[in-house]
């Protein structure tokens, strides 16, 4: 891409190394930021498709088994104890999913807190480094009167 084809905000005529690095870092992160909504949409779509496929497979299996049982004349009435066992098993699966969901959300939250801590630490480190650099410059370069 020639300079004239670059978006205006990315055009630079500077020969300064650090300005050039900053310019290219800005270009890179602008591109990265564009992908966040795409990732979000793709992951949400995948999760929805997976859930629908799983639901469809389950409903199909139940339907086929019901049809088979009906066609061969099987009595599908179950005793209350068996119904309770099935309901209890379903309840436990729902609880397990809820716990898993909370664990995943807690892990995401902990990761976000780690990123925030990294960001804050980087800001603090940069401030300390800047102060140390100023002190070294003051100590090493004589002042002119």
Q: Which tens digits make up the pLDDT trace of 22-60?
A: 999 999 999 999 999 999 999 999 999 999 999 999 999
Q: Are residues 27 and 56 in the same domain?
A: yes
Residue 52 lies in a domain: yes
Q: Are residues 68 and 89 in the same domain?
A: no
pLDDT tier at 1, thresholds 50, 70, 90: very low
CA-closest candidate to residue 30, choices 6, 1, 2, 3: 6
Torsions phi, psi for 74 (to 5 deg): -75, 135
Rounded distance, CA 124 to CA 130, Å? 10
Residues in the chain: 145
pLDDT at residue 9, as a whole number:
56
Q: Are residues 70 and 116 in the same domain?
A: no
Q: Tell me how many domains the chain contains.
A: 2
Q: Are residues 70 and 87 in the same domain?
A: no
- Exposure b/e, 111-139, CB count within 10 A at least 16 = b: eeeeeeeeeeeeeeeeeeeeeeeeeeeee
Last residue of a domain, one of 52, 77, 102: 77
The angle formed by the CA atoms of residues 41, 45 and 49, to the nearest 5 degrees, is 175
Q: Are residues 98 and 137 in the same domain?
A: yes
Check whether 135 has a pLDDT greater than 60: yes
Residue 2 lies in a domain: no
pLDDT at residue 140, as a whole number:
85
Q: Are residues 25 and 84 in the same domain?
A: no
Residue 98 lies in a domain: yes
Residue 135 is part of which domain span? Answer: 78-145
């Amino acid at each position: 891409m020639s300079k004239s084809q670059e978006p205006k905000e990315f055009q630079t005529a500077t020969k300064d190394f650090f300005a050039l690095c900053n310019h290219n870092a800005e270009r890179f992160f602008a591109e990265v930021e564009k992908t966040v909504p795409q990732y979000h949409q793709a992951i949400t779509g995948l999760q929805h498709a997976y859930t629908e496929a799983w639901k469809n497979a389950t409903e199909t299996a139940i339907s086929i088994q019901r049809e088979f049982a009906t066609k061969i004349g099987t009595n599908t009435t179950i005793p209350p104890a068996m119904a309770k066992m099935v309901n209890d098993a379903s309840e436990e699966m729902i609880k397990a999913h809820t716990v898993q969901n909370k664990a995943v959300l807690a892990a995401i939250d902990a990761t976000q807190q780690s990123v925030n801590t990294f960001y804050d630490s980087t800001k603090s480190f940069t401030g300390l480094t800047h102060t140390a650099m100023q002190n070294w410059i003051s100590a090493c370069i004589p002042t002119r009167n």
